[in-house]
Amino acid sequence: MNRRRLYSAVFSMGVQHSMEYRFHFFLSLLGAAFPILVQYFIWTAVYRNSGQTALFSYSYGQIILYTILAGLVSKLIATQFEHQIADDIKNGGLNKYLIKPVSYFSYRLISFFGQKAIYYGITALLLAGIIWFASAGDLLELQAVRLILFAITLWGALLLNFLIAYCICASAFYLHEISYFFLITSLLINILSGGMFPLEIFGETVVKGLQYTPFPYTIYFPVNVLSGKTQAAAMYQGLLIQCGWILLFLWLSRLTWRIAMKKYSAVGG
């Protein structure tokens, strides 16, 4: 099928892009480790100092596990295409795609997956190692159900994060200076998703409030599904909510882009 050939070509171009700079490639793996390490030391100091077994409802082991997993997951789902898209919009690169029989959305999605394919593989290996290590050290009670659900929610998280970022990109049609905006939103989303700290440090009410936003379903939720903090019932409920958010954002991204495109074509780029 023609379509499939096209997309596999786009995918492999993405993979190649990420391989082109070998030095960069190995270092970016290392780069993911540092913040996790720093947080590990901070939490170690915190728990040693307080003498309590659980802080913010996390035990020492759980919080370390959370930190590592959240760090990995947030690296995994991180999108880096905002600037490319904004560039396409600003400099007319989008026209290239408008005149070709390809949907820009699928092109971006596939090439994004391609660019991260290697990264995914390695992260998966790391995750497997960590999960094995944690369960061997009795930090994690390995349950097949949770593992499967984690794998599913992780894919959901990927897609959801892509969609959120894609929606935000539409703002490049309207805003003049966009790079700052992306910095702010990506950092804020990371914090609100629980990428830096477990959401509990903000207090009960904030956690409750955030449950009504899509953000926890990208990092906080998948990690807690795996670590066993989420109750069985809440797990399935959360999965459903995540699906709901994905559908909503799918629709939203179509909508925002359709509106924005209309304006774009009207001015002629």
Partner 1 sequence: MRLYGIFIKNCLIAQMEFRGNFMMSLLVESVYLFAKLLYVLVVFRTDLHVDGVPPEGLLLFIGMHTVATGIYVGLFFTNFTKIPEYIKDGSLDLMLTKPVSLQFMASLRYVDLALPIPDILVGFAMIGIGWHAMDIPLTFLQLAGFVLLLIVSVVITYCLMIIPALLSFWFVQTSSVSEIANSVWDANNFPMAIYPAWVRRIGTFVIPLFLITNFGPMFLLGHLSWLYAGLALAGSLLLFAAVRLLWKHAVKGYSSASS
Partner 2 sequence: MDFIRVRELHKSFVYYRKEAGLRNSLKNLFARKSLLREAVKSVSFDIGPGECVGFLGPNGAGKTTTLKMLSGILYPTSGEANVLGYVPWERKNEFKRLFSIVMGQKNQLWWDLPASESIYLNKCIYDVDDDLYRRNLAELSEMLDVQDLLNVQVRRLSLGERMKMELIAALIHQPRLLYLDEPTIGLDFPSQKKVREFLKYYNEQFGATILLTSHYMKDVEDLCKRTIIINQGSLLYDGDLHKINDLFGEQKIIRLQFSEPVAEQMLAKFGKIVSTDGYNAVLELPKYRLKEVSRVVLDSFPIVDWTIEDVPIEEGISMLYRKESAV
Residues that bind partner 1 (CB under 8 A): 21, 23-24, 27-28, 30-31, 34-35, 37-38, 41-42, 44-46, 49-50, 55-56, 176-177, 180-181, 183-184, 187-188, 191, 196-197, 201-202
How many other C-beta atoms can be found within 10 angstroms of the C-beta atom of residue 152?
15
Determine phi and psi for 239, rounding to 5 degrees: -60, -45
Q: What is the DSSP string of 90-147?
A: HTTHHHHHHTTTS-HHHHHHHHHHHHHHHHHHHHHHHHHHHHHHHHHTTSS---HHHH
Residues of span 18-77 touching partner 2 by CB under 8 A: 19-20, 22, 25
Query: 232 contacts which partner out of partner 2, partner 1, none, CB within 5 to 8 A by kind?
Result: none
Q: Taking the complex as a whole, how short is the minimal distance between the CB of residue 26 and partner 1, in angstroms?
A: 9
Q: Which stretch binds partner 2 (CB under 8 A): 14-22, 67-75, 77-85, 103-111?
A: 14-22
What CA–CA distance (Å, rounded) separates 148 from 69? 16
- Hey, what are 87's tokens? 């560039």
Q: Name which of 13 and 38 has its Cβ closer to partner 2.
A: 13
Q: Name which of 129 and 203 has its Cβ closer to partner 1.
A: 203
Verify binding: residue 12, partner 2, rule CB under 8 A: yes
What CA–CA distance (Å, rounded) separates 211 from 245? 12
Query: 100 contacts which partner out of partner 2, partner 1, none, CB within 5 to 8 A by kind?
Result: none
Query: 133 contacts which partner out of partner 1, partner 2, none, CB within 5 to 8 A by kind?
Result: none
Q: Name which of 4 and 22 has its Cβ closer to partner 2.
A: 22
How many other C-beta atoms can be found within 10 angstroms of the C-beta atom of residue 149?
20
Q: Taking the complex as a whole, how short is the minimal distance between the CB of residue 169 and partner 1, in angstroms?
A: 17
| AA identity, residue 154 | L
User: Is 218 within 8 Å of 161 (Cβ atoms)?
Assistant: yes
Query: 12 contacts which partner out of partner 2, partner 1, none, CB within 5 to 8 A by kind?
Result: partner 2
Verify binding: residue 15, partner 2, rule CB under 8 A: yes
Query: 15 contacts which partner out of partner 2, partner 1, none, CB within 5 to 8 A by kind?
Result: partner 2
Q: Taking the complex as a whole, how short is the minimal distance between the CB of residue 13 and partner 2, in angstroms?
A: 9
User: In this structure, what is the dihedral angle of CA atoms 44, 45, 50, 53, given to the nearest 10 degrees?
Assistant: 10
Distances in Å between the alpha carbon of 40 and those of 21, 34, 102, 139? Answer: 30, 10, 45, 15
User: Is 115 within 8 Å of 21 (Cβ atoms)?
Assistant: no
What is the number of alpha carbons within 13 Å of residue 113 lying toward its C-beta? 14
Q: Taking the complex as a whole, how short is the minimal distance between the CB of residue 41 and partner 1, in angstroms?
A: 5
Q: Name which of 8 and 265 has its Cβ closer to partner 2.
A: 8
Binding residues vs partner 2 (CB under 8 A): 12, 15-16, 19-20, 22, 25
